[in-house]
Amino acid sequence: MMAGLPQLLHQAVFGALAASGFGILFNFGWRDVPWCAASGALALATRTLGHEAGWPLEASSFAAAIAVGCATRGLHARLGISSNALAVAGCIPMVPGSFAARGMFALYALTSNNPADPSSTVVTAMESLVRVIFTIGAIGTGLSIAKLILRNPDAQGSGD
């Protein structure tokens, strides 16, 4: 199942592009956008390695979120930007949009006058939406764990 280095580089490059876009969208300064790109590249590269190891999407997203959270916490003092915001910008490309779209389209299909196979459509919708919920929960939990593990004693009361 090893996809190899080209697949890993592909995921890292597109994770960097997506996270850079979110950094711009979140009004990061131009000097901080490359750090958004680095966090996105780390997130999707780590998640890809998890997939290659046979982990499900939720578990590999959890591991990637911990990796990004730890990396951004380690860079916080050096960069001077919010490690929480940087970690979120890096993890947003991991949100499973295709599963969300599949689940929503299946729900919309149920609203037609005569749905083709309603029970199968409901199962498809619920499977997809539950995967989205668990993946987003795994990302949030991974980021929270990284923050708890690597507390910054100098940031007491700073909200970061």
Q: Does a structural domain hold residue 110?
A: no
Longest dimension (CA), the chain: 62
Q: Does a structural domain hold residue 52?
A: yes
Range of the domain at 62: 5-94+139-151
Using N-to-C axis directions, what is the helix angle for 33-52 and 57-79, rounded to 10°? 150
pLDDT at residue 153, as a whole number: 46
- The per-residue pLDDT for range 96-144, each reduced to its tens digit, is 999 999 999 999 998 888 888 889 999 999 999 999 999 999 999 999 9
Contacts of 31 (CB under 8 A, 6+ apart): none
Q: Does a structural domain hold residue 108?
A: no
Q: Are 108 and 100 in contact (CB under 8 A)?
A: no
Q: Does a structural domain hold residue 14?
A: yes
- The per-residue pLDDT for range 11-59, each reduced to its tens digit, is 999 999 999 999 999 999 898 899 999 999 999 999 999 999 999 999 9
Tokens standing for residue 98: 């295709």
- What is the value of pTM for the model shown? 0.85
Q: Does a structural domain hold residue 99?
A: no
How far is it, in rounded angstroms, from Cα 58 to Cα 96? 10
How far is it, in rounded angstroms, from Cα 27 to Cα 32? 10
Residue 139, CA distances (Å) to 47, 60, 70, 132 in order:
11, 9, 13, 11
Q: Does a structural domain hold residue 144?
A: yes
Instruction: Work out how many domains the chain is built from and give that number.
Output: 1
Q: Does a structural domain hold residue 128?
A: no
DSSP secondary structure code for residue 156 in this structure? T
Q: Does a structural domain hold residue 122?
A: no
